[in-house]
Amino acid sequence: MTRRRSTPAASRRPRPRSNTMHVPVQAIDRDIWRDGVASEGARLIPEETPLALTYNGGTYAVMMGTPQNLEDFAVGFSLDEGIIKSVDDVKSLEVVRLDDGIELRMWLASEDAARISERRRHIAGPTGCGICGIDSIAEAVRPAAVVPQGQTFTPEQIMTAMQAIAPLQSINLQTRAVHAAAFWSPAGGIIALREDVGRHNALDKLAGSLARSRTGASGGMVLLTSRVSVEMVQKTAAIGAPVMVAVSAPTALAVRTAEAAGITLIAIARQDGFEVFSHGGRVVARHATEVADVA
């Protein structure tokens, strides 16, 4: 079989496509080495695009993220950062696709705009940076909102919820390179799932999706395919979910923050079980819930 001469993958460009940086997945040619033998082929990889969040004409932050579900990201970021208190505070939202990135242009009420001017930051954040540009230690470790009591969940429900994520990750099924944040409830299963190259972005997108659909979070769980740092706990608290479950381990500060916020933090969730780091009373054996139902 005749094989064309290999060109180093680093010197090749993505396959021609209009608006390439505005689609979430790209096909990239690369060289493949297996058992000392080289071959060629294309791999689907996620796109990474500058996303500028602007309020009333001024840039607040520039994040790197996946160009998908951007209205959800804009609203969720604004809520999680404390810029707005409700989705209704955003008077208008426009996604503007530029040659070198995407602007998420929001217009807020005058009182919200005045508050932003006091804490405006012009940053170029790395992928999914959770606290980029914060200029004080106190702001970085600010107390999270205290969540409502919510309800209890069985180990079987928690494992079922986590196992439901993978088949719904459309981008990750193609690329194996993005994070997901999802919301699960006993009645509806996975109600919303959002993906991004940045784990913080994925959670912001989920927050925006829930807010825009007017979905209350007190009766379900936030599910993460990433590790749990303090910002992830703060964002989950802003969403109002009493339980968060992650596949990887938490940081010590994340555990302390979850404890203070009243959040049940479950991590290292695998097919054979999980570990509960705070407020374990929301996790109950099946027989206990059955006895409670009978009573």
Active site residues: 129
Asked if 38 and 6 count as a contact pair (C-beta separation under 8 A), the reply is yes
Q: How far apart are CA 231 and CA 226, in angstroms?
A: 12
- ∠ CA 27-199-19, nearest 5°, is 35
Q: How far apart are CA 295 and CA 280, in angstroms?
A: 22
Q: How far apart are CA 80 and CA 152, in angstroms?
A: 25
Asked if 120 and 114 count as a contact pair (C-beta separation under 8 A), the reply is no
Closest CA to 250 of 272, 270, 265: 265
Strand pairing partners for 280?
none
Closest CA to 173 of 16, 25, 23, 21: 25
